[in-house]
Amino acid sequence: MSKLYTDLGKLIAHLDIPNGSRISFHHHLRNGDYVLNAVMAELAKQGKRDLTINASAFFDCHEPLIELIEKGVVSGLECNYMSAKLGAAIGLGILEKPVIFRTHGGRPKAILDAVTPIDFAFIAAPTADYQGNLSGKYGPSACGSLGYAFPDARAAKTVIALSDNLIDEALADYSIPGCEVDYVVSLEQIGNPQGIVSGTTQVTRDPIGLLMAQLAVKTIQASGLLKDGFSFQTGAGGASLASAKYLHELMLEQGIKGSFGLGGITSYLVKMLEDGCFETLYDVQCFDLAAVESIRNNPQHREVSAMHYAAPSKQGALVDHLDLVILGATEIDRNFNVNVHTNSQGQIMGGSGGHSDTAAGAKLAMIIAPLIRARMPLILPEIQCVSTPGESIDCVVTQYGIAVNPARSELKARLEDAGLPLKSISELEQIATKISGRPQIQKASGRVIAEILYRDGSRLSEIRQKA
Amino acid sequence: MSKLYTDLGKLIAHLDIPNGSRISFHHHLRNGDYVLNAVMAELAKQGKRDLTINASAFFDCHEPLIELIEKGVVSGLECNYMSAKLGAAIGLGILEKPVIFRTHGGRPKAILDAVTPIDFAFIAAPTADYQGNLSGKYGPSACGSLGYAFPDARAAKTVIALSDNLIDEALADYSIPGCEVDYVVSLEQIGNPQGIVSGTTQVTRDPIGLLMAQLAVKTIQASGLLKDGFSFQTGAGGASLASAKYLHELMLEQGIKGSFGLGGITSYLVKMLEDGCFETLYDVQCFDLAAVESIRNNPQHREVSAMHYAAPSKQGALVDHLDLVILGATEIDRNFNVNVHTNSQGQIMGGSGGHSDTAAGAKLAMIIAPLIRARMPLILPEIQCVSTPGESIDCVVTQYGIAVNPARSELKARLEDAGLPLKSISELEQIATKISGRPQIQKASGRVIAEILYRDGSRLSEIRQKA
């Protein structure tokens, strides 16, 4: 009994994938991923058509998909995030069916509930042993956590691992057990290490970003949440990382012993773990080399599945135990609804990822974003789409002041007591308009090119083509 | 949002468990388990009736079940193993419905396939954090692996953890994620440490056992399997452990680097890991304190789920990669069919556990057993029931010689070449009969009191009441 193949073409031929199949990928190799393109090229070569791809995210490296969509090889896309190159092509209307956007927590729920069943899951595996036990922590293409691939491995009808590091040993530290893996195929290289993880993630040097980060940390302090047992997630954006850095200094200064850091993990959270600011890191994806090294070596740095990270359930996920999440935004409306799917022009260039999952779960969901970006105001009367409902957002920190969701009167009182520069969301909107003028952009009104599903699977919003 | 309860009675009342519910338990606390009795007593107190219990195993400590069966609180039992006290009561006919026996691999398959759905799973958790992340490795009632509880946690409609070590930290080294746990209830003590694991497991000192162990190891040597990459499982019986000990010495002597040790883990396998005889231990259950300590501290000693251990699937389980398994037997017939469910009198006092799973998967499935035990011959024309089909058994090692399954001509030739004392199964039967006489025991012929399901769920055999 061997599930090992050395030739992807032969394996694809053996699988006999029907036209119309639903296939999946995960995005831990990020913009260095070779696996999706290699599999799709082979499927195209073997004449497959009408495939639906469900990937946790699409990056610019997946640009070859555009041609495959145009040729009819691919007719459906589902994801939690889509970067600008593919997004621009979708905006041109190349795909007939709307892209289905989910969240990092909604996707595993939908897969496990068979709302979006997966016929063939292709898993990029930095290491695979001879039994098909898989790990992301070891090998030349190591990416650390494989958290987003867990639902695919568990629920897909057929699971194919692709690896450039097949080992003859019995892997002890596997992430996905061989009993969930049907086939393992060796590839020369599954990814470009340059693109998989950044060498280092960088705190912003922009003075506006640093100013916002200082305001963010003062807000956290004033919120009353920063005490022993504190739990925290932040994105890898420059201002968010700067906030993490200030928070780190503050926690050390005040001797605060936090509980856990969560989410996509960077060197900043690793340093906080090592300095005792957290007991544990729960890691669904590593963003840099320091995170990969830490998850490999530090038993307190734990890989978690996408389900455990963020899936909505009565049992609760890790996001439901978050005290604080720091998030970004492209656009915000007066009701605190946030768009992170498109740019101000309505072109797809992002997605929820864990945005709405963490915002829903965290006690304090804080947006940090510059009030003006490339001459476009952050706050607008109407936004291109809703990625995260405003009711999940507690406050918005900008360089011109902090707007607290009016539903959070206790938070507002605390920030007032601390003397922080509070503004209403309308005041912030007015300041922005005064500086940049009222933008002349209309909300796109063409056909629906993408549907945005909330984490529970309900329809939250849509993205339309520019007329 | 808190899933924590401090009072079992209040939680049971809150759960509002309907009569006729199907509830489950796991057996890692073995004969020291307090959890099953505590839960069942509370259910009885609250007037529940007609419950079906699916436990991975029942031990003598679960004797209070007899009264609950007689009172109608419990009307169905399903398990992979049942020790003698409850077995004797079943033999007296106290339960109307037959006991359903599965295997350690068949149970998770049946649970996950909803062949035997679980309404309420009760999980004895030596440590639980405030989110419901569970571990067996830490705390005063530490038992090590929680492998058999994984299917229950994943598939039960409601999952209740019971723990005597609730911690306020964010557990990094959890076995079962909090997102699979609905409730956590604190108990003063979940088990008696004396009964949970043996202080030490002991190699036999019986000269017949040692003789058989020597024959077993010579057989392994002659089989050609003992080379780099060798993988191995053995039970915790005295002669099996003696075989492991001799094997250990031989592997060190010959510098053989094995691949993995599997199954229920004892200090003997731990020593083999530490001495480099294996790369990895895959542990579904710890049998002694050394194993608990090792799984806690040695990253090469890995907890595995019951699915990964042994569930039959097209992807294969760890048992499918075994070179050798050493197993025991109560009775064997001329076709190598093995009974490990009853004693020679037909009284239930065991069960498959992983017997038929490992026998089906291993390249060499070896029975080691004395030809006469308490004046009863091992080999009989007719056995009380079939636990493992003879086609899975490769050879039987006794102190009077080795019988090879006639279907294994290559193995037979190798053992012959090595000059080992081969006998046919009939010759061994005749030797036994000559020594102990032909036993006057009839196969029980009353009503069916237990059904033995093979690992794939098909009906393999049955146990009848003594007429």
d(CA B151, CA B314): 18
A169–B304: do the CB atoms touch at under 8 Å?
no
The residue in chain A having the minimum alpha-carbon distance to the alpha carbon of residue B109 is A179
- List CB contacts (< 8 A) between B308 and chain A: 177-179
Q: How many residue pairs bridge chain A and chain B with CB atoms within 8 Å of each other?
A: 109
Both tokens assigned to A382: 């109407």
Nearest to A229 by CA among B132, B2, B170: B170
Nearest to A224 by CA among A356, A361, A401, A417: A417
The answer to whether residue A280 neighbours chain B at the CB level (below 8 Å) is: yes
Could you read off the pLDDT tens digit of each residue along chain B, which spans 467 residues? 589 999 999 999 999 999 999 999 999 999 999 999 999 999 999 999 999 999 999 999 999 999 999 999 999 999 999 999 999 999 999 999 999 999 999 999 999 999 999 999 999 999 999 999 999 999 999 999 999 999 999 999 999 999 999 999 999 999 999 999 999 999 999 999 888 877 666 778 889 999 999 999 999 999 999 999 999 999 888 888 999 999 999 999 999 999 999 999 999 999 999 999 999 999 999 999 999 999 999 999 999 999 999 999 999 999 999 999 999 999 999 999 999 999 999 999 999 999 999 999 999 999 999 999 988 999 999 999 999 999 999 999 999 999 999 999 999 999 999 999 999 999 999 999 999 888 887 888 899 999 999 999 999 999 999 87
The beta strand positions in A179-295, using DSSP E, are 183-186, 232-234, 260-265, 280-286
The residues in B 169-208 lying below 8 A from A, measured between CB atoms, are 169-174, 177-182
Both tokens assigned to B8: 């079992």
> pLDDT of A94-105, one tens digit each?
999 999 999 999
d(CA A109, CA A122): 19
d(CA B444, CA B87): 14
d(CA B286, CA B263): 9
B300–A172: do the CB atoms touch at under 8 Å?
yes
Interior CA angle at B153 toward B149 and B158, to 5°?
A: 130
Query: DSSP string of A306-369?
Result: HHHHH---TT--GGGG-SEEEE--SEE-TT--EE-SB-TTS-B----TTHHHHHHH-SEEEEE-
Which are the contacts of A425, defined by CB distance < 8 A and separation ≥ 6?
A332, A334, A336, A379, A396, A403
d(CA B423, CA A329): 78
Indicate the DSSP class of residue B136: S
The answer to whether residue B314 neighbours chain A at the CB level (below 8 Å) is: yes
Average pLDDT, rounded, for chain A: 96
Task: Check if the beta carbon of residue B282 is closer than 8 Å to that of residue A173.
Answer: no
DSSP helix/strand/coil, A269 = helix
Which are the contacts of B135, defined by CB distance < 8 A and separation ≥ 6?
B125, B126, B127, B128, B146, B171, B173, B174, B175
Backbone φ, ψ for residue A390 (5° rounding) = -55, -25
> pLDDT of B100-140, one tens digit each?
999 999 999 999 999 999 999 999 999 999 999 999 999 99
Of the candidates B178, B300, B316, the beta carbon closest to that of A178 is on B316
Nearest to B83 by CA among B108, B54, B103, B63: B63
Q: Residue A356: what residue type?
A: S
Query: Average pLDDT, stretch A451-467?
Result: 96
Which are the contacts of B132, defined by CB distance < 8 A and separation ≥ 6?
A315, A316, B3, B161, B178, B181, B182, B183, B184
The interface predicted TM-score of the complex, written ipTM, equals 0.96
Summary count for chain B: helices (H), strands (E): 15, 26
A260–B180: do the CB atoms touch at under 8 Å?
no
Start-to-end Cα distance in chain A = 56
Task: Check if the beta carbon of residue B204 is closer than 8 Å to that of residue B238.
Answer: yes
> pLDDT of B57-76, one tens digit each?
999 999 999 999 999 999 99
Nearest to B327 by CA among B303, B362, B374: B362
Task: Check if the beta carbon of residue B111 is closer than 8 Å to that of residue B83.
Answer: no
